[in-house]
Chain A
Amino acid sequence: MSSADLAPKPEGILDTELDAESLRRRLAETWKTRSGLVGFLSSVDHKVIARRYLITALIFLCLGGLSAVAMRVQLSGPERGLIGPDLYNQLFTMHGVTMMFLFAVPIMQAVGLYLVPLMVGTRNIAFPRLSAFSYWVYLSGGVFVWVSFFLNMGPDIGWFAYVPLSGPEFAPGKRADVWAQMITYTEVSSLAVAVATIVTVLKQRAPGMSLDRIPLFVWAILVTSFVIVFAMPSVMIASSFLILDRLVGTHIFNPAEGGDALIFQHLFWFFGHPEVYIIFLPATGMVSAIVPTFARRPIFGYLALVLSLIAVGILSFGLWVHHMFATGLPKLGASFFTASSMLIAIPNGIQIFCWLATLWSGGPLRLKTPLLFVFGFFFIFVAGGLTGVMLASVPLDLQVHDTYFVVAHFHYVLIGGAVFPLLGATYYWFPKLTGRMMSERLGRWHFWLAFIGFNAAFFPMHIVGLWGMPRRVYTYPVELGWGGINLFITAGALLFFLSFVLFVINLARSARSGEAAGENPWDAGTLEWAVSSPPPNYNFARIPVVAHSEPLWAERGSMPVAAGLRVDAREVLISTVAEAKPDLREKSARPSIWPFFSALSVGGTFLGSIFTPWAVVWGALPIAVSLIGWFWPKGAPEDEE
């Protein structure tokens, strides 16, 4: 038998045979997520999964924020007895791991998961079941670590869990194991989304969307996904080695038996520094989407921006040692990493100048809330970048290492560089997700409260850090005279927290009764605005054909499309990597409950492995069964070719 001998498959119903109304009806039926509990657990729609990610990440943001508020209240005056050292250790660890692993990375990937298929003009993410699986693994990891915290088993070793502090000798009990397995959960889910995103961008772009027409947000998510693929295995290796040392008695980090503690720091920061860019790069993509829309012109320096994104992605792997300047490295090594740390300021600077040039040379600026947050980002991120250049210098770093100066620096970079653009992006894309506009009035209040609150909370930390206040102390003596400034910081932190309360109120009110948005309320140029708000489950009734980087601006009122896909089975268009020429009509997976079962069995195995290494052996059976269930064809047209 040869390919010609394969039994002929039914052609199915093609969209060319249907009028617009019946086309939409048939597609909605084919792409629908079933109702009921099984339907809920089986959904593979990228929009549904992304919405779950977004809501879950917001809940974790709230928990991470509350732990910060608790710490700030404790530090608001000297020698307060509200929180003891043990709980304080857990709180700052939970704050760090929650913000980094359960909020920042997942929410950035979730925005990508929602928007990338819409922006590249396809009907679903590649490997939709893998994305569904990733969400359940992420959720179980987050629940696991927070339940552990409430059981007084929360990790208390800092978000980077250095050995020997986290090793078997100095961290008895299960707290460090909880940290290590939480890493495994979140990194598995993050890697899964990264792979699905890469393949979607490379292979599912609308015809004509050549590399130079890919929206910058999509470029940013693509580069981020590559950074994830090469960075996250490092922290998984580090946390797996740690758990092996703790649970089965290996000696990888034990200097007494030929191991080494410093290799943990190398492995952690080889991931940890790119991690900053995993959070920051999608945010730059958001800025690159918001700026042209409100400046009324295509982005200035598209090529420079793409190359900057790629350069930042690559350079992010060459900086990790600057987190380890205080470990006594050879001088030449330290100098190399000083130079590379300063080098990365160049592509980041290029991006800032391109955005400014776009704003400068565009039409009259529309100063709406999304753009306000972008301005906030410019101000705060540049300030954080400048202290970053300062910290790249070894003598200065040694002086302020582990002080509040560093805390101020990375909050300026992470909140300024990622959270402010994310908030702007929320105001910008909320209409697409819900069909309703967010309140501008509340939005402006939100912005100014956040901007003032943030700076009031974090700017003084530079000063108190230079005075010598170390991070991760649960209190300080009266005689040091840090009380006044810490009270001021706490007031700023409460103001900043209040801004988020306002944000949540705005989200809830607008989702219920905001002004109707229509397809394209901002008159933006990229493809996600070509579909209704919220988008139908099949995204595009016909796949758009792209001839311009802002297709909706190039041709107003009408859109060139492609026809000839099946409507009775989930079919997506596969195109070539560089030029996006149409190549194949492939099937996209139907909803399935097996990714949920797979996540349950994988999650159960991770959980059990904290208590006995045999869990890995016993867990293998349910994992194998659920994976076979996932991949075994069920006779649906999508399972065949």
Chain B
Amino acid sequence: MPGILKTAFNRYWGVLLILVLWQAWVTIGELNAIVMPQPADVVVDLVGNPGIYLKNGVQTLALAGGGLLLGMAFGSLIAIACWFSRLATGMLVPLAMIFSSVPVVALIPVVARLLGYDIKTVMAIVVIVSFFPAFVFTSAGMRALPPGSEDLFQVLGASRKSRFRHLVLPAAVPNWMIALRLAAPSAVLSAMLAEFLMGQSGLGYMFRAAAGDFATERAFGTSVIATAVSVITFTLSQRAERAVNERWR
């Protein structure tokens, strides 16, 4: 038993330290409950109002997950279409790289204005955010072929179609999984940011509403659920990536 405790301490002393500092800050700074809730109050709000947390949490998770998969599908489909045309690749890859080096979340207000304050807009934003990594990584993966394989396929007299099916597409799979892992956290974050800015529903909206009502325990409770949603999405995508890599490399 002491062994386990020691291991746990070795791993989590940093997290523990942060919690201690937080508590110290609250105690020494004598912050009152409206500014800084006690952890217990946060738990009470979470347990006391499961419905509102569940409803909004599920909505955000569904929007983020659905938008993520849709955006990934779009991105990879366009990357695949581009594989057949060097001009299209040459035109789109630099653009996509520009878009991945700018803060895409800054587009949220623009998209919100274009499509209106609606759940569809949240979805559209997640799709846009997930599109770029999927496109960039799938394109790169379809070009990072195993050494010698291109020569081999040519010598074996492979048609373009069979080269695509047996070589290019499977070669892109690990990169596609990297894109999924990278896009998952930003999908969740941008879904919540969109909800926050438009203020209709979802976890992002709950932050806004809680801030407006000075309901700090609600704001912190929402933080807990938001973190859970993010961790779930990230863990799932990481697991998927590992499983695929084991099979693929």
Report if A and B associate in a common complex.
no
Residues of B within 8 A of A (CB): none
